[in-house]
Amino acid sequence: MYKLIAIDIDGTLLTDDHKVTDEVKEAIRQAKIKGVKVVLCTGRPLVGVENYLTDLELREEGDYVISFNGAFVQDTYTKEVISHLTLGIDDLKEIYQVSLDSNLHMHFFDDKALYTPNREIGKYTIVEAYLTGSQLIFKEIENVPEDFIMSKAMFIEEAPELEAGIAKMPESFKEKYHLVRSTPFYLEILNRDASKGNAVKELSEKLGIKQSEVICIGDQENDVTMLEFAGLGIAMGNAPDHIKELADYTTASNNDSGVAKAIQKFVLDK
């Protein structure tokens, strides 16, 4: 029997117009009634998840959320922080210099806001602020305090420009941080140990849930680590082919309530 389901948000839980279908809501509700832990696991900051936690009734005792691509794990009922893998001011300065050398826009998060050092703000920074409900603040790197604690940084650009920038990055930079593409136009830079897979592993161990009892559902590169960790890794029908190939099962698309269909098949026996 499966005891924990970790669900990505964008492209997985949500339709393309950022809605949760009634079918998905009902499947999650029934899974919870059956005693299964349902954990949203996203690259978004916590503020970008809050409404979905409320809407899906995932703020009850024993509920958890994973945000910032695994860098942040929290008990949504008590607000206790289970894990927060961060980066510091020296990391931020290095990341900023690489963004300049690679000719890429960037932005970065702490637990309060979204910041950009770019006077000409990248359009995907504006998109990110809108989608996640994050306060967007212009802040030059020299004005960031020395004790700044960063949850993640992101390079944002159209896919060809982003790929060209990645090709320019030194190997030492790629090895020092966990770099992952969450969309074709986002490259996320995280603490080396931060990933969705590690976060789901840590949480399942804390809860006494075996790896074989975990389902993970996702659609993009930043979901790979949790799909690989899961006892049952499920790719969305809208996922790229290489994500489907590494998953154990492919469900319907996000626009066709693929999360609900997966829960119905493997948890609710429908």
| Residue 214 in tokens | 């975990």
Q: How many CB atoms lie within 10 A of CB 119?
A: 7
Q: How many CB atoms lie within 10 A of CB 73?
A: 24
CA 101 – CA 128 distance, rounded (Å): 23
State the greatest distance between any 2 C-alpha atoms of the chain, in Å, as a whole number. 57
- In the chain the beta strands, taken as DSSP E runs, fall at 4-7, 37-41, 64-67, 72-75, 81-84, 105-109, 114-116, 136-138, 152-156, 178-183, 186-190, 214-218, 232-235, 249-250
- Smallest CA-to-CA distance from 115 within 151, 81, 146, 91 is with 151
Answer whether 157's CB lies under 8 Å from 134's CB. no
List the catalytic residue out of 8, 63, 91, 219: 8
Is 248 exposed, middle or buried, given 0-12, 13-18 or 19+ CB atoms closer than 10 A?
middle
Cα Rg of the chain, angstroms: 18
Q: Is 8 a catalytic residue?
A: yes
Collapsing DSSP to helix, strand or coil, 94 comes out as helix
CA 93 – CA 22 distance, rounded (Å): 45
Active-site residue numbers? 8
